[in-house]
Chain A
């Protein structure tokens, strides 16, 4: 059975992510335009990764409910 403390932490992070508004990407011109996104910048924290996925699915769920 999953650890309730871990689930609580994930839920807190998910709530944080749900409240956050999506950032607008800056348009970069020139040589940097073709550069791919750097993976090393991504968070390596497990809770962040899991919470990100949970938030994405929850957003889709909410969209689904709103459509109905």
Chain B
């Protein structure tokens, strides 16, 4: 009996491979450099105003990346590089956002604050939508399509509700259906 050798097996990590590096070799394994919020804010003020950082930042804004995403990325990378802790990164986030807006305004670059916020603003609350559909249906019933599931939800269904228009059944011509089918 011969077993087939798969070359993909060689791509897998060797067991214990993650333990082969010396401890504290990676920056995030070491204690952070800055631990005061004022120091972290100062660090970002100096860093973002730096022309080496400013150019790619403006390019990203021009491409349409949201400011909230860029700020998250900058603060998280600060944690990864052991400049500050993760909680300080979260706390400093609003200052970084404001700094990016300042840089964008000074360079006359249009920016998107947050795509999530835009989506939130576009969304109409169900309560308002329901009243609007109701009003439209009551004032002009021909416009609203009662077959539409969204409209069907708000169509009055009580005893006093207006019955949908139906063709009189008596006017219908008798059909010659064979008795077998009945």
Q: Which residues of A contact B (CB under 8 A)?
A: 1-3, 6-7, 10-11, 46, 49-50, 53-54, 57-58, 60-61, 64-65
Contact = CB atoms under 8 A, between A and B. Distances in A.
Nearest to B36: A49
The prevalent SS among residues of B at the interface is: helix
A1 B37 CA distance: 18
17 contacts: A1-B72, A2-B90, A2-B93, A2-B94, A3-B90, A6-B90, A6-B91, A10-B94, A46-B37, A49-B38, A50-B94, A53-B41, A57-B95, A57-B99, A57-B102, A61-B98, A64-B106
Interface residues of B, number: 18
Contacts of B99: 57
Interface string B91-105: 111110011011001
A50 B91 contact: yes
A61 B94 contact: no
The 8 closest A-B pairs by CB, nearest first: A2-B93, A57-B98, A54-B98, A10-B94, A53-B95, A61-B102, A57-B102, A2-B90
Contacts of A58: 98
The prevalent SS among residues of A at the interface is: helix
Nearest to A11: B94
Nearest to B100: A57
Nearest to A65: B105
A62 to B, nearest CB: 9
B99 to A, nearest CB: 6
Contacts of B71: 2
Nearest to B87: A46
Contacts of A64: 102, 105-106
A20 to B, nearest CB: 18
A18 B91 CA distance: 20
B146 to A, nearest CB: 39
B95 A50 contact: yes
Given A2-B72, A49-B38, A60 B102 contact: yes
